[in-house]
Amino acid sequence: MSAMLELKGVTKAYKGKQALRGIDLSVEDGEILALLGPTGAGKSSTLLTSAGLVEPDRGTVHLAGRDVTEAEASSRDVAVVFEGFNLLPVLNVRDNIAFALRSPKYREAEAEIATRVSRTAELLRIGHLLDRDTGTLSGGEKQRVSIARALVRRPKLYLLDEPLSALDLKLREGLRAELRQIHREHGTTMLYATHDYHGAIAIADRIAIINDGRVLQTGRVDDIYARPADAFVGRLIGSPSMAFFEAEISGGGVTVPGWESPLDLARFGVTRAQGPVTLGLWPEDIELGDLGHEGRIYALDNRGYEAAVQIETQAGMFRKVLEGGPVPVQGETIRFRPKQGAGFLFDRITGALVSHQEGR
């Protein structure tokens, strides 16, 4: 596999406000890469730069091996689904979908356009809407039309900016499955920006985590679980996300306030000898029971088949889902302990992973 899209050191500032601080990102040919990050992390700017709609201050953009940093957006052969506004109000649904196929750049014969538009509309189940005005569509229908306009063409790369975030849960899941299906059938390459962890793991082959204008980590979700590169990654991945405890490296161990005994430092593979750190544990690696450290049930969300609890400890709060077993009551004191060998240490200030450094 080769990289379809490759961004190197891309920076962008808007009126002195730094949006991208050196984006390095590579989307392989035929994969869906989810760009996962909170609002304002730089997802849209990354997509717009890839599309050529925003000119980077520094850095390069390669598309299918060609340097397109300076190339016009209309010559890049990418399709974009924007986050908010997508449909041209002066055109009806059919002409919106056919829009690219009538352009000077991607023109097709009218007969071919008709076939492709109806086939794509069929795929997204909007065939009955083709002659409607865009103003009369519901949010879900609008988003389907936007996606149809992107899919009617076979561009090198699809750039999807939160294409489903405005939709309700059921529609979102349905459309996500359809996108995945189309991807499987046609081997499309997609860069899919989202702030939704569930959406990202459901659709993507790989995930790139972006925050504050930088890509913190790119990889398959199991690789990210195995070695989160930054505390922020832990905060974004998982449901619930990573549990964090204030800790301190000293005397060959990791001390956590309120925990009876320090953790053995050797198992973490840390290169530093002392200082404040943050201990990160995936909730799945925390066992609740009669043994271990003390915590208090701060909040409880009983969903019937499972219960999500928020547990307050001296060193920090964390959330965990309990499947089966007795449901605790709010305010109850419980005990918890990390599984053998689990846990990551992060720099308290920068958030960078400081454990698991051996062999690197």
Chosen residue from 1, 70, 84, 359 binding other proteins by CB under 8 A: 84
Is position 137 an interface residue for other proteins (rule: CB under 8 A)?
no
CA atoms of 292 and 336, how far apart (whole Å):
5
Q: How many Cβ atoms from other residues are within 10 Å of residue 195's Cβ?
A: 17
What's the first-to-final CA gap in the chain, in angstroms? 25
Which x/- pattern, by CB under 8 A, does the window 155-174 give for other proteins? Answer: --------------------
Is position 53 an interface residue for other proteins (rule: CB under 8 A)?
yes
Residue with tokens 């992390």: 41
Nearest to 183 by CA among 154, 161, 140, 162: 154
CA atoms of 285 and 268, how far apart (whole Å):
15
Is position 71 an interface residue for other proteins (rule: CB under 8 A)?
no
Is position 231 an interface residue for other proteins (rule: CB under 8 A)?
no
- In whole angstroms, the minimum distance from the beta carbon of 155 to other proteins comes to 9
Residue 350 token pair: 């920068």
- Cα dihedral 52→57→59→63 (10° resolution): 0
Is position 73 an interface residue for other proteins (rule: CB under 8 A)?
yes
Residue 164 token pair: 């489903």
Is position 113 an interface residue for other proteins (rule: CB under 8 A)?
no
CA atoms of 70 and 51, how far apart (whole Å):
11
Of 79 and 175, which has the nearer Cβ to other proteins?
79
Is position 341 an interface residue for other proteins (rule: CB under 8 A)?
no
CA dihedral (265, 270, 273, 277) positive or negative: negative
Interface with other proteins: number of residues (CB under 8 A): 26
Residue with tokens 């940093």: 69
Q: Which residues lie closer than 8 Å to 304 by C-beta, 6 or more apart?
A: none
- In whole angstroms, the minimum distance from the beta carbon of 106 to other proteins comes to 5
Pairing state of beta strands 206-211 and 214-219?
Answer: antiparallel
Is position 318 an interface residue for other proteins (rule: CB under 8 A)?
no
Is position 135 an interface residue for other proteins (rule: CB under 8 A)?
no
Is position 74 an interface residue for other proteins (rule: CB under 8 A)?
yes
Q: Which residues lie closer than 8 Å to 359 by C-beta, 6 or more apart?
A: none
- In whole angstroms, the minimum distance from the beta carbon of 323 to other proteins comes to 44
The region of 49-57, 184-192, 307-315, 325-333 touching other proteins under the rule CB under 8 A is 49-57
Of 14 and 276, which has the nearer Cβ to other proteins?
14
- In whole angstroms, the minimum distance from the beta carbon of 186 to other proteins comes to 19
The region of 100-108, 197-205, 266-274, 297-305 touching other proteins under the rule CB under 8 A is 100-108
Is position 143 an interface residue for other proteins (rule: CB under 8 A)?
no
Is position 334 an interface residue for other proteins (rule: CB under 8 A)?
no
* Residues in 165-224 at the binding interface with other proteins, rule: CB under 8 A: none
Of 86 and 211, which has the nearer Cβ to other proteins?
86
Residue with tokens 């544990």: 281
CA atoms of 237 and 273, how far apart (whole Å):
28
Chosen residue from 89, 252, 276, 325 binding other proteins by CB under 8 A: 89
Q: Is the peptide bond before 240 cis (omega within 30 degrees of 0)?
A: yes
Chosen residue from 71, 88, 349, 352 binding other proteins by CB under 8 A: 88
Q: Which residues lie closer than 8 Å to 238 by C-beta, 6 or more apart?
A: 197, 225, 282, 283, 284
Is position 78 an interface residue for other proteins (rule: CB under 8 A)?
yes
Give the binding site for other proteins (CB under 8 A): 48, 51-53, 72-74, 76, 78-80, 82, 84-86, 88-90, 99-100, 103-107, 149
